[in-house]
Homo-oligomer: A and B are copies of this chain.
Amino acid sequence: MSGLRIALAQLNYKIADFENNTSKIADAIFEAKQKKADLIVFSELSVCGYSPEDLLDYPWFVEKCEQSLEAVAMACDGIAAIVGGVMRNPNSKGRLLQNVCCFIHDGKIKHIVPKTLLPTYDVFNERRYFEPAQETSIIEYKGVRIGIAICEDLWDIYNDFEYAEHPGENLKKQGAQIIINPSASPFHIGKQSLRNRVFAGQASRFDLPVLYVNQVGTHTELIFDGSSRAINANGEVAVQLPGFAESIAYLQYEKGKFSEGESVPLESNDAALLYQSLVFGIRDYFKKMGFKSATFGASGGIDSAVIQALATAALGAENVHPILMPSMYSSDHSVQDALELSRRLDNSPITLPIEDIYTAYMDTLKPVFMNRPFSLAEENLQARSRAVLLMAISNKLGHILLNTSNKSEMSVGYSTLYGDLCGALSPMGDVYKTQVYALARYINRHQEIIPNNIIEKAPSAELRPGQKDQDSLPPYEVLDELLKNYIELRKGRDEIITLGYEPSTVDKVLNLVNNSEYKRYQAPPILRVSEKAFGKGRIMPLVARY
């Protein structure tokens, strides 16, 4: 029986950066050939990055994609490669493009395998661009019958709905001895156990070994974690690649199974995973955008404290610039806590009090405000004055503004549009407040980095005297579970009430969420770490009866 030495290339691509993506792929092919591999497998859409979105509407982009695949083919001699990209649909009907993997050998594209199942839900939009494959086929290479199933092609029975087509089943029927699954599978908390279920499930369903090769890297909101793996038909993991890092691994396929290779165990603690993913997300976003340094408003509260620790881990202490902007409503302990955190993280904070600015606004607005009582307008004025200062610093010094909002706030609209909702990136917009606390405790696991006082005090926006979050919201443990039921699990009002929540609380919270759609519409991109993040994965009408 025949054998194959296979390289798994888990690499970080940048969208539309054909030159660098292609040379990265060529380098990996060169290395794999040196290391005597017979075949090297890259992830989905590797030459162009996943997902190029409406760049696919530009003919030059598709031509570049096809040219890159040809260029890779020419560099591929004495070894075979499976490389992902976009090609024109050869049929005269249907969408103009296909999401394909090329099987390359002897300097040529020998087979083009289009994707059959095109995910079009949540953050996925593939039916917007691609025509699905009409059939599957087997590639015979060095005596091994290889079936290629691209990403979703192996998730046919693992969705809210069951697809009508079953490409994996077809490959099995056509005599596949191994299923290769080049993927672009974004991370979220819980995704690992989902993948365990899918890959072990499919391996056992088809009684075949499965090779899953994912990309790694942040593409705006989406964090791709890699975590590629080779699974044998019995569900055993032969090789496990790391999360959140580029890696090329080698394994031997022989007698119908993968022999065990070197594995990097995956992190399984949720707080640790959250920390890893967010630090990686921030770092890769900055790197790909060509940014170096970050700034943010350091309030002395838990959210900005965790952002500061994440940013420092991602970018280095010298590149993180906390700005303290106390008002007349800021407590002394907030300022002290914020300064203490900067001392511990070795950041150099700047303090810019906003009282004079606030006074100038109130004086200017006197002809309009007259003697109307203090209201939301004055609270928002403070938050917005701070945002203007932060953006001025960003414009003048080139530091990139990080948003400090969390998902609980974003959900109920307890953030000021054009105020604390500003930022180039929202690292924690998909992290509930209770998870923010878990992150803080994780950051403090070896020593107290975030002052305990920040973790222990009652959360407050400090926009009016004595204000506390819990004055107008249920406790975060209750609120976050309620929000998860509504947002992640898409339960309706009545169903949530049957879970034991007070009807008045449910009505209040759901109204807050619905009536804040207009704020989230203008929110920064949010690093996605849950199954249902705000942003492109949750498209809600603004104008509707809620």
Contacts and interface: CB of A to CB of B under 8 A. Distances in A.
Contacts of A393: 365, 368
Q: With a 10 A CB-CB cut-off, give which of A372, A490, A546 has the most chain B CB atoms.
A: A490
Contacts of A541: 15-16, 51-53, 55, 219-220
B353 A364 contact: yes
A498 interface: no
A414 interface: no
A521 B524 contact: yes
B536 A525 contact: no
A389 B372 contact: no
B350 A368 contact: yes
Interface string A220-234: 100000000000000
Interface string A76-113: 00000000000000001111100000000000000000
A525 B58 CA distance: 24
Q: With a 10 A CB-CB cut-off, give which of A161, A369, A393 has the most chain B CB atoms.
A: A161
B543 A15 contact: yes
A324 to B, nearest CB: 12
Nearest to A96: B161
Interface string A286-307: 0011000000000000000000
Nearest to A60: B492
B388 A361 contact: yes
Contact of A96 (B52, B160, B359, B540): B160
Interface string A498-533: 000000000000000000001001111100000000
Complex copy number for this chain? 2
Contacts of A17: 544-545
A539 interface: yes
Interface string A372-396: 1001110011001101110111011
Contacts of A359: 360
Nearest to A61: B492
A128 interface: yes
A395 B376 contact: yes
Given A15-B544, A360-B356, A388 B418 contact: yes
Contacts of A125: 128, 539
Nearest to A545: B17
A126 to B, nearest CB: 9
A456 interface: no
23 contacts: A15-B541, A15-B543, A15-B544, A49-B544, A54-B538, A60-B492, A60-B495, A61-B492, A93-B163, A95-B161, A96-B160, A120-B128, A219-B543, A285-B543, A354-B364, A356-B364, A357-B361, A357-B364, A361-B389, A384-B392, A387-B418, A418-B418, A521-B525
Given A125-B128, A357-B360, A521-B525, 20 more contacts: A16-B541, A16-B545, A55-B544, A57-B490, A61-B492, A92-B162, A93-B164, A120-B127, A219-B541, A220-B543, A285-B543, A352-B365, A354-B364, A357-B361, A365-B389, A368-B392, A369-B392, A381-B388, A381-B392, A418-B418
